[in-house]
């Protein structure tokens, strides 16, 4: 039987068939979320308060950290139901969660492309970097990223909740996500599947292709670097960045590109856990906390917080400076 309005909410089954795994994941979520909050807040504070980090690179990284915080905070409260008998979520709560996740996910997809573009410009077009990556252009790139996510959320959320859902309202997932609603629908979902597949291609396959293309050009530029030490350090960093990109895009593509294939049905919940929690911790660890520049800035920040209360101007208005760009170019090659 179908119930289109589903006023009573939904039941998220999660990993209920593996009760021992639920307990482990419950504590893992608590530990990981604490680390995510601390690491991403550290990146945001450093980018705002440390003059050496007033560059486009750290401006984009601070935006990525903010996205990760919002993304994980939207998902984690519901994951707290992993351990316990009550796995319900209200209809309104499910709508809000799906709407926010559909906005933040594509926004992060586009933001990773923007960051790859910034890395490409600073290495491959260094002489023109100050002309290309000026303040207004960087704000426009961030605006385009958020607008892309917002547009997908506005389009896909109403379409999803127009489906006729089965009366039991059981979602075989840990979150309110589109594939779970397609499985719950008691009717033809072919239009929704095609719409979701097209969105997945636009926000996963295409961005991943652009990022990999930028790395091809970066690799060509690295081959021209005279310093063997600088080349080796940059080459050592690229695999770490690509690892995060492949994990994030790969897990999302597995769930959203073909939601009704057997592999996605059996493993979708594990993929969801990865791209909502694990990658949010990997981003600050790989992109910045392993960076010598950030390690040197952290003690200075702690010293300022303890020893001074002087007012500072808003950093994003002044980080496009010649010295900042030069430092950005140098440290991009020496992460």
DSSP 140-183: HHHHHHHHHHHHHHHHHHHHHHTS-EETT-EESSSS--HHHHHH
CA distances 214 to 20, 113, 168, 246, Å, are 43, 9, 47, 14
**19-49 and 56-79 are packed helices; what angle lies between their axes, rounded to 10 degrees?**
150
- Tell me how many degrees the CA angle 235-126-213 measures, rounded to the nearest 5: 50
* pLDDT at residue 181, rounded to an integer: 87
How far does Cα 167 stand from its chain's mean position?
Answer: 34
* CA separation for the pair 59, 64 (Å, rounded): 9
pLDDT attached to residue 316 = 43
Answer whether 283's CB lies under 8 Å from 240's CB.
no
> Would you state the pLDDT for residue 261?
64
Residues 258 and 80: their CA atoms lie apart, in Å, by 28
Give pLDDT, residue 333: 45
Q: What value, to the nearest 5°, has the Cα angle with vertex 114 and ends 197 and 239?
A: 85
What's the CATH architecture for 6-332?
Up-down Bundle (1.20)
The CA distance from 306 to 301, in Å, is 9
CB-CB neighbours of 308 under 10 Å: 9
What distance in Å separates the CA atoms of residue 237 and residue 293, rounded to the nearest whole number?
14
Q: Exposed (0-12), middle (13-18) or buried (19+): which is 14, by Cβ within 10 Å?
A: buried
Each residue's pLDDT, cut to its tens digit, for the chain (335 residues) gives 444 444 568 888 878 778 788 888 888 888 989 999 988 888 888 888 777 778 888 888 889 999 999 988 888 877 766 666 777 888 888 899 999 999 998 999 899 899 888 888 877 777 788 888 888 899 999 999 999 999 999 999 998 888 888 777 888 888 888 888 888 888 888 888 888 888 888 888 888 888 888 888 877 777 776 666 655 655 555 666 677 788 788 878 777 776 666 656 666 788 888 888 888 888 777 766 556 677 677 777 677 666 654 555 444 443 454 445 545 544 444 44
Give CA 227 to chain center in angstroms: 33
Q: What angle do CA 289, 295, 298 make, to 5 degrees?
A: 105
Q: CB neighbours of 92 closer than 8 A, spacing ≥ 6?
A: none
- Residue 122, SS3 per DSSP: helix
Q: Of 20, 64, 29, 66, which Cα lies nearest the Cα of 174?
A: 29
User: Distance between CA 40 and CA 281 in Å, rounded?
Assistant: 8
Residues in the chain: 335
Beta bridge partners of residue 89, listed in sequence order: 10
With contact defined as beta carbons under 8 Å apart, do 172 and 13 qualify?
yes
Question: Helix 135-161 vs helix 91-124: angle between axes, to the nearest 10 degrees?
Answer: 150
- Domain range summary for the chain, segments of one domain joined by +: 6-332
Predicted local confidence at residue 3, as pLDDT: 47
* Residue-level pLDDT at 315: 46
- DSSP annotation string for 46-93: HHHH-GGG-SHHHHHHHHHHHHHHHHHHHHHHHHGGGSSS--EE-HHH
Query: Cα separation of 50 and 292, whole Å?
Result: 14
């Amino acid at each position: 039987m179908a119930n289109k309005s589903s006023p009573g909410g939904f039941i998220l089954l999660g990993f209920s068939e593996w009760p021992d795994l639920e307990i482990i994941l419950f504590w893992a979520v608590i530990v990981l979320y604490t680390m995510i909050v601390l690491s991403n807040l550290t990146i945001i504070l450093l980018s705002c308060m440390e003059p050496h980090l007033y560059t486009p690179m750290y401006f984009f990284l601070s935006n990525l950290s903010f996205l990760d915080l919002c993304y994980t905070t939207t998902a984690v409260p519901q994951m707290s139901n992993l351990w316990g008998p009550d796995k319900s979520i209200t209809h309104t709560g499910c709508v809000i969660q799906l709407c926010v996740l559909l906005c933040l996910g594509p926004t992060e997809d586009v933001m990773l492309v923007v960051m790859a573009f910034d890395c490409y410009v600073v290495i491959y077009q260094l002489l023109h970097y100050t002309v290309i990556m000026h303040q207004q252009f960087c704000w426009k790139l961030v605006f385009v990223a958020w607008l892309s996510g917002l547009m997908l959320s506005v389009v896909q959320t109403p379409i999803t909740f127009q489906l006729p859902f089965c009366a039991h309202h059981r979602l075989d997932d840990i979150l309110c996500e589109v594939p779970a609603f397609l499985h719950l629908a008691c009717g033809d979902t072919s239009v929704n599947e095609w719409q979701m597949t097209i969105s997945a291609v636009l926000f996963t396959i295409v961005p991943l292709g652009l990022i990999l293309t930028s790395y091809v050009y970066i690799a060509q530029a690295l081959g021209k670097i005279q310093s063997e030490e600088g080349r080796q350090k940059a080459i050592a960093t690229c695999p770490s960045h690509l690892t995060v990109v492949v994990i994030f895009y790969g897990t999302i593509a597995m769930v959203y590109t073909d939601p009704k294939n057997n592999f996605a049905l059996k493993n979708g919940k594990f993929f969801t856990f990865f791209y909502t929690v694990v990658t949010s911790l990997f981003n600050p660890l790989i992109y910045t906390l392993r960076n010598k520049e950030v390690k040197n800035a952290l003690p200075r920040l702690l010293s300022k917080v303890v020893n001074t209360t002087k007012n500072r101007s808003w950093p994003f208005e002044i980080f496009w400076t010649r010295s900042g760009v030069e430092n950005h170019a140098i440290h991009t090659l020496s992460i």
